[in-house]
Amino acid sequence: MSPITYLIQRRLQTSKDLLTQTDYSIAEIASSTGFASQSYFSQIFKKFTGMSPNQYRKQNTVHQ
């Protein structure tokens, strides 16, 4: 695994946690995890997970 791929995967894991544990916007999550823009974040997120950040949030958020 290349260093860039490792870094992206770490950022994506953090973003997955934020998507399911907070109500931060996608733009806030993208910015706080080091992605240059929301659109780039969404593109990379979908490439690695097979779904958009919003889809991931809806499928993985436990409603209390």
DSSP percent split of the chain into helix, strand, coil, nearest 5: 70, 0, 30
SS3 41: helix
Find the domain containing 45 and state its range. Answer: 3-60
Please give the torsion angle defined by the CA atoms of residues 14, 19, 25 and 26, in that order, rounded to the nearest 10 degrees: 70
And the tokens for 28? 């806030």
Domain total in the chain: 1
Over its length of 64 residues, how does the chain's per-residue pLDDT go in tens digits?
899 999 999 999 999 999 999 999 999 999 999 999 999 999 999 999 999 999 999 999 866 5
What CATH number corresponds to the domain at position 54?
A: 1.10.10.60
Which residue, among 9, 27, 36, 8, has the nearest Cα to 53 in the 3D structure? 27
59/64 Cα distance (integer angstroms): 14
pTM: 0.88
